[in-house]
């Protein structure tokens, strides 16, 4: 079986989805023959050198694609340029593969040119398109106009002929979490499978946390935007009893950071919250190692990579029962609370914190279970095995 992978951006030296997808492709390339089509990385190690175990074909992106900003990151106009290059390459070379897999972009709103070929293909994992809960919208309305374009997704799922054909002709559509099946309900899909593009290369060193009842070091990691729930974490801190030694450290920068600092001051908890802003990767790892619990109430989260990072360091997770976190986190190593209103969310987060503050033994056991889960289910070789089995199933079905 020879599989074609298409992904506009793929880089083991990058961040986020391009790095996670790279690590998955790297693991796959050690199991089956792969050909990868991608844009060449503008800086750093060439992609072919990063992926020595597979055939790598890269395209030089136009100059305007190389100038990245928040608008470009949201709309990803380079996808359409890349798709034309992929189709041109396939037609000019006459190459045909047993199976094709459009691994990126991760957003569900992009059509694929693979629909114009006669190869069986897979899309995904796709995510995003989560709506903001009604009660939170007044606090999220400050986000940029282009970020609100996600509200057009459902219209396009119902009416965009190129997008609908892309999904209708796919043998399998992979979603980052079960919620995506409902998001894509208006599309004709032959087979939907849940597959989260998150994994680990190896477990972090085991950290011994002695823990003292009544003391708790909470950690929030993520961009300081309203949907990541930092404001809700701060409001929860204001509901905790003063006789408990509970602190919160925030790692990340963004447009909501000043509002969060003002919220902490207004609620009288600024002395218990540290806003560290952006931190390099090695410092973030230190914060995981020196904390007790990840507090991550992100209510419009497709995947939640920071949850995997925290679990890797043996941290229990307090999060929300929505989107990707709802699927990742089990009762063995975390606590999930519903998302109804800001007041309810803060109250329930405070209750979850109080469940763990006096019980270091439970925290330790939850951290152990988190690492066991990752070791068994979330290494990149294990993730690659899941895809190889899926590819085999697809190819076994004729037509």
- pLDDT in 10s for each residue of the chain, 399 residues: 999 999 998 998 887 788 899 999 999 999 999 999 999 887 789 999 999 999 999 998 877 655 555 544 555 678 888 999 999 999 999 999 999 999 998 888 889 999 999 999 999 899 888 888 999 988 886 555 445 555 677 778 888 899 999 999 999 999 999 999 999 999 999 999 999 888 888 899 999 888 899 999 999 999 999 999 999 999 999 999 999 999 999 999 999 999 999 999 999 999 999 999 999 989 999 999 999 999 999 999 988 889 999 999 999 999 999 999 999 999 999 999 999 999 999 999 999 999 999 999 999 999 999 999 999 989 999 999 999 999 999 999 876
Rounded CA separation 315/309 (Å)? 9
> Cα 39 to the chain's mean position, in Å?
21
For residue 357, what pLDDT is reported?
97
For residue 71, what pLDDT is reported?
45
Q: Which two tokens stand for residue 185?
A: 């309900």
Rounded CA separation 6/2 (Å)? 13
What residue segments make up the domains of the chain, in order of their start? 3-199+379-396, 215-377
Rounded CA separation 33/293 (Å)? 41
Q: Give how far Cα 339 sits from Cα of 45, 132, 133, 218, Å.
A: 43, 10, 8, 20
Rounded CA separation 96/103 (Å)? 18
Query: Residue 150 has what DSSP assignment?
Result: G
CB 182 within 8 A of CB 153: no
Rounded CA separation 356/318 (Å)? 10
Rounded CA separation 181/190 (Å)? 12
What CATH number has the domain spanning 3-199+379-396? 3.40.50.2000
CB 41 within 8 A of CB 13: yes
Rounded CA separation 361/347 (Å)? 24
Q: Which two tokens stand for residue 236?
A: 């929860």
Rounded CA separation 229/233 (Å)? 6
Strands 192-194 and 215-221, bridge-based pairing: unpaired
Neighbour count for residue 110 (Cβ, 10 Å): 21
Query: Residue 221 has what DSSP assignment?
Result: E
Q: With the C-alpha atoms ordered 302, 286, 216, 222, is the resulting torsion angle positive or negative?
A: negative
For residue 37, what pLDDT is reported?
97
Q: Answer yes or no: same fold for 3-199+379-396 and 215-377.
A: yes
On whether the 215-377 domain is CATH 3.90.190.10, my answer is no
For residue 216, which phi and psi values (nearest 5 degrees)?
-155, 130
For residue 62, what pLDDT is reported?
76
In the chain, what is the straight-line distance between the N-terminal and C-terminal CA atoms, in Å? 17
Q: Give how far Cα 264 sits from Cα of 1, 234, 302, Å.
A: 56, 6, 27
Rounded CA separation 18/5 (Å)? 13
Q: What DSSP line would sit under 251-273, residue for residue? A: E---TTHHHHHHHHHHHT-GGGE
**Of 326, 128, 127, 298, nearest in space to 227 by CA:** 298
For residue 124, which phi and psi values (nearest 5 degrees)?
120, 175
> Cα 228 to the chain's mean position, in Å?
12
Strands 215-221 and 293-296, bridge-based pairing: parallel
């Amino acid at each position: 079986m020879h599989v074609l992978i298409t992904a506009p951006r793929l880089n083991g030296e990058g961040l986020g989805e391009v790095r996670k997808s790279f690590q998955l492709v790297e693991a796959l390339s050690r199991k089956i023959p792969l050909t990868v089509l991608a844009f060449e990385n503008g800086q750093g190690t060439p992609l072919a050198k990063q992926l020595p175990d597979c055939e790598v074909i890269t395209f030089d992106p136009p100059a305007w694609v190389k100038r990245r900003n928040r608008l470009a990151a949201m709309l990803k106009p380079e996808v359409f340029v890349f798709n034309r290059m992929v189709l041109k390459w396939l037609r000019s070379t006459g190459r045909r593969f047993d199976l094709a897999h459009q691994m990126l972009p991760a957003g569900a709103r992009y059509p694929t040119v693979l629909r114009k070929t006669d190869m069986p293909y897979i899309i995904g994992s796709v995510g995003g398109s989560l709506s903001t809960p009604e009660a939170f919208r007044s606090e999220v309305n400050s986000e940029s106009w282009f970020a609100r374009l996600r509200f057009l997704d459902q219209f396009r799922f119902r009416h965009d002929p190129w997008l609908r054909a892309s999904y209708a002709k796919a043998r399998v559509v992979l979603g980052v979490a079960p919620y995506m099946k409902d998001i894509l309900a208006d599309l004709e899909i032959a087979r939907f499978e849940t597959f989260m593009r998150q994994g680990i290369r190896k477990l972090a060193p085991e950290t011994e946390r002695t823990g003292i009842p009544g003391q708790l070091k909470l950690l929030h990691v993520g961009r300081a935007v309203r949907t990541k729930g930092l404001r809700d974490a701060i409001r929860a801190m204001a509901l905790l009893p003063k006789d408990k030694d509970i602190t919160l450290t925030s790692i990340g920068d963004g447009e909501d950071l000043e509002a969060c600092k003002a919220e902490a001051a207004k609620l009288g908890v600024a002395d218990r919250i540290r806003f560290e802003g952006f931190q390099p990767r090695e410092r973030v790892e230190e914060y995981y190692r020196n904390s007790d619990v990840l507090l991550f109430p992100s209510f419009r989260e497709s995947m939640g990579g920071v949850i995997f990072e925290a679990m890797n360091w043996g941290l229990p997770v307090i999060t929300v029962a929505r989107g990707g976190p709802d699927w990742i986190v089990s009762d063995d190593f975390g606590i999930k609370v519903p998302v109804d209103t800001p007041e309810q969310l803060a109250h329930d987060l405070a209750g979850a914190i109080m469940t763990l503050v006096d019980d270091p033994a439970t925290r330790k056991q939850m951290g152990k279970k988190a690492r066991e889960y990752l070791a068994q289910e979330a290494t990149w070789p294990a993730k690659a095995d899941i895809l190889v089995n899926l590819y085999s199933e697809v190819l076994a079905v004729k037509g």
